[in-house]
Amino acid sequence: MSPVSTRREGEILIVISDNPPVNALGHAVRKGLADAIGEASRDEGIKAVVIRCEGRTFFAGADITEFGKPLQEPGLPQVVDMIEKSAKPVVAAIHGTALGGGLEVALGCHYRVAVPSAKLGLPEVKLGILPGAGGTQRLPRVVGVEAALPMIVKGDPISASQAKEIGLVDEIVADQGLEEAAIHYAQQVIGKTPPRTGERTDRLSVDDSVFEDFKQKNARRLRGYEAPLACIEAVRAAIELPLEEGLKKERELFMKLVAGEQSAALRHVFFAERQASKIDDVPKDTPLIPIEKVGILGAGTMGGGIAMNFLSAGIPVTMLEREQGPLDRGTGIMRKNYEATAKKGRMTDEQVEKAMGLLTPTLDMNDLGDCDLIIEAVFEDMDIKKDVFGKLDAVAKDGAILASNTSYLNIDEIASATKRPESVIGLHFFSPANVMRLLEIVRGEKTSDSVLATAMKLSKTIRKVAVVSGVCFGFIGNRMLAPRQAEANNLMLEGAKPWDIDRVLVEFGMPMGPFQMADLAGLDIGWNKEKSSSSTIREVLCERDRRGQKTGAGFYDYDENRRGTPSKEVEEVIASFAEKSGREQRQIGDQEILERLLYPMVNEGAKILEEGIAQRSSDIDIVWINGYGWPPYTGGPMFWAERRGLKTVLDGLEKHKPHLSDDFEISGLLRRRAEAGEGFGG
């Protein structure tokens, strides 16, 4: 049965798509729409058409699962063209999200009405492509180039009211009764010549500098990506070429991008992110624990950021500290962060007060007694954590979830300090915790299904991308960081300069390299002045008060704007260490640097898979993209390795093995898969 049905309401034909979950414009929907438009044009009794969708949303785009497969006619551009050419006015009735091909259908319609909660956008660029059904040509014709550029090149949706303001939506109608409102609208336009977007040119005149300015302003965000530049080229075509030629240009660019590596990687990321929220062995109907109040221990760097996630979601937080000083400092920083967001216009003053009003600072642990979830973010020390969990066990109510934000420590050992290990879980946030999207959910040996499923659900409430990890040192992300760090140090001792090592990773697409990261975090994390014995390069740098950006010097020298430049002093320190280590000094090329930094990470990822620490290799990709800034357009470390060929990675590791750390071992899984010519299998 076709997912598209029609119904007559007087002289109006109502076309209804019902293709759950998001009314993606797969073949059957496209065909249904084309048939319905054909029906309207043939039936003389029909004077206007309304297109709407059942379920939670208007068309959310083309069906991404059809990409890369042979096209089944009619293609979406054809359908949009048919709608636009219809002699009878067509009204799009929009609720939910009109995205990508969905908005392109709406742009083909002659009028658009939307409910206030609707969102409209062209997110194709996030999938490494551009709108391929006329979006790049029609949107600028409707809203002007300046409003269209960010929507097409950045891909973020806008609200119905913004859409109304720029002329994308003709009328906003009440949430209830969208269909009636659209019918009413259609009745008003019966007999009028349908205004065809493709024929408009009134909003197309624009100064050419708009494009260059836009590129420059967004250079950082667009770095490394192919699709945004193609989007800009296509919009330029909209102002330079007649519609037909502009559409042809758009099509050419679309076909090239959709067949490319970046689009394959970004589509992988899209589905991987959704897959990550599924826990294979936890039944879907597992009962959830209601989380109405959250407790947080420690108002330091992490505690404050974690608390903000819940406050922003409207969930009250009680925050416990040891002393008044750190408590005041912590809550002060939270307020400042909120106020900075408000200054940028991303929050109102009332929202700031509302969020801060949900916070109860305290020095009394008993105040955590009514919390449904308590997250510990105190010092990274097993004895302290066990002590804290023992005490929590005594005050927390029955059924409360007890979570630790530990970066490395064993959740099972922490859980052993309580009489309810089934309620204990790891919730590993990333710094800054109010900004970074990743949440590693660490499943202890005894963590109950309910606790795990609740944590996963909660991650959505606080708008995080969650990935489940088993218990091991450093979980998925930090465990893979360790071999990269070891190799960065080895490379440095063999003659590669820290700034060359950083540069290679930045050119690869990472936001920064390991030495820049170390300078940013502070080289003195875990360093003790009294115990320091010049035994590592890091220790020597700290002893010389080169403790990173905060002291104006670390691996780099920093100016007053915190811009780093290579340091002669550091070169000398490295040279003297290299001499002592007796390692042969040599010129090391960029390719070797890249392979020696990234292949051992892939190898560690393979071990993580083999040990069952990660459920699937795509989860590892999601961790590295959202927690460490791995470039999404390569798909994450595991996808990247698969595209290179696991055999290439294996051969590279064999070749570099003499230089790798003594304890380096090639993963059995990687070897087997590489030799069999396989990938990691999801």
388 binds ligand NAI (CB under 6 A): yes
Told to check if 61 binds ligand 3HC by CB under 6 A, we report yes
- Crossing angle between the packed helical segments 514-521 and 498-508, to the nearest 10 degrees: 100
DSSP labels for 465-504?
Answer: EEEEE-SSTTTTHHHHHHHHHHHHHHHHHHT--HHHHHHH
Closest CA to 153 of 224, 242, 214: 214
Cβ(189)–Cβ(124) below 8 Å: no
Nearest Cα neighbor of 80 from 113, 47, 102 is: 102
Contact residue for ligand 3HC among 17, 19, 86, 97 (CB under 6 A): 97
Tell me which residue has its CB nearest to ligand NAI: 300
Contact in structure between 324 and 362 (CB atoms under 8 Å): no
| Residue window 400-429: x/- pattern of binding to ligand NAI, with contact defined by CB under 6 A | -----xxx---------------------x
**DSSP symbols for 109-154:** SSEEEE-TT-EEE-GGGGGTS---SSHHHHHHHHH-HHHHHHHHHT
8 Å CB contact between 236 and 605: no
Annotation says 104 is catalytic: yes
| 378: partner contacted, choices ligand 3HC, ligand NAI, none (Cβ within 5-8 A by kind) | ligand NAI
- Gap between the Cα atoms of 258 and 252, Å rounded: 10
Distance of closest approach, residue 600 Cβ to ligand NAI, in angstroms: 22
Q: How far is the CB of 477 from ligand NAI (least distance, A)?
A: 10
Select the binding partner of residue 320 from ligand 3HC, ligand NAI, none (C-beta < 5 to 8 A, by kind).
ligand NAI
Handedness of CA 170, 176, 182, 188 (dihedral sign): negative
- Beta carbon of residue 245, minimum distance to ligand NAI (angstroms, whole number): 52
- In the bound complex, what is the minimum distance in angstroms from residue 257's beta carbon to ligand 3HC? 10
User: Cβ neighbours of residue 322 under 8 Å, at least 6 residues apart?
Assistant: 363
Number of CB atoms found within 10 A of residue 291's CB: 20
Q: Which of 302, 517, 537, 553 binds ligand NAI (CB under 6 A)?
A: 302
Which residue among 124, 321, 539, 642 contacts ligand NAI (CB under 6 A)? 321
Query: Residues 299, 307, 403, 638: which binds ligand NAI (CB under 6 A)?
Result: 299
Set 11, 54, 66, 124: catalytic member: 124
Number of residues that bind ligand NAI (CB under 6 A): 23
Cα 179 to Cα 54, 57, 103: the distances in Å are 10, 13, 18
Query: Is residue 431 close enough to count as binding ligand NAI by CB under 6 A?
Result: yes
| Catalytic residue list contains 240 | no
CB 266 within 8 A of CB 228: no
Given candidates 32, 108, 131, 477, which one binds ligand 3HC under the rule CB under 6 A?
Answer: 131
- The active-site residue, picked from 84, 104, 539, 642, is 104
* Residue 113 C-beta: closest distance to ligand 3HC, Å: 20
**Structure tokens that stand for 292 in this block:** 């109405």
**CB neighbours of 576 closer than 8 A, spacing ≥ 6?**
none
Q: Strand, helix or coil at 335?
A: helix
366: contact with ligand NAI by CB under 6 A: no
With binding defined as CB under 6 A, does residue 128 bind ligand NAI?
Answer: no
Interface stretch with ligand 3HC, choices 124-132, 297-305, 446-454, 516-524 (CB under 6 A): 124-132
Among 7, 8, 217, 274, contact with ligand 3HC (rule: CB under 6 A): 274
Residues that bind ligand NAI (CB under 6 A): 297-303, 320-322, 326, 377-380, 384, 388, 405-407, 429-431
Instruction: Enumerate the active-site residues.
Output: 104, 124
Residues that bind ligand 3HC (CB under 6 A): 21-22, 24, 57, 60-65, 76, 97, 99-101, 104, 123-124, 127, 131-133, 135, 271, 274
